[in-house]
Amino acid sequence: MMALMDEGVAFVSATRYAHGGRRLGGSMIGQVLSRTANGLLRIASGTGLSDSTTGIKMFRRSDFGWLTKDIKSVGWAVAFEMAINAQLAGLQMGEVPIISIDRLFGGKSSFQLIPWVIGYFGYFATAMAKLPRSTRPAVKVRIPAGM
């Protein structure tokens, strides 16, 4: 992620769904919803990111204020909204694959289907309506050695 930032990329997102990234564990419904939302967003809007919903993002501190200015979400939806705001602003986007391990051990998940869907749907609809459609979105990809 740092290497992409050093190359001039303004907003870098980790990805579980492309370029060698993977998602392990977690609920099946959570995985299906996440993959579906990301896939629909990417195909229908032309957004370049393969995983707008992951919580792992990197951007310049000076961009934080305007990236989060109108965000009313809580939880993981914040990262999704920031990714959409960055794309709407036309920032150079980048992705790095990760292997995400969701709650294989430990406490109970706080995932609740209805609030999660409601939380994402409003911003998802906004993104679908506002993001420019492009057949070749510009996303710089950096795959770490050994992946």
CA distances from 144 to 9, 28, 43, 77 (A): 16, 28, 26, 27
Q: For the chain, what are the domain ranges?
A: 2-137
Q: What is the mean pLDDT of each run of 10 residues along the chain (147 residues)?
A: 94 90 82 83 75 90 90 74 84 92 70 72 76 64 73
Amino acid sitting at position 48: G
Contact of 54 with 60, CB cutoff 8 Å: no
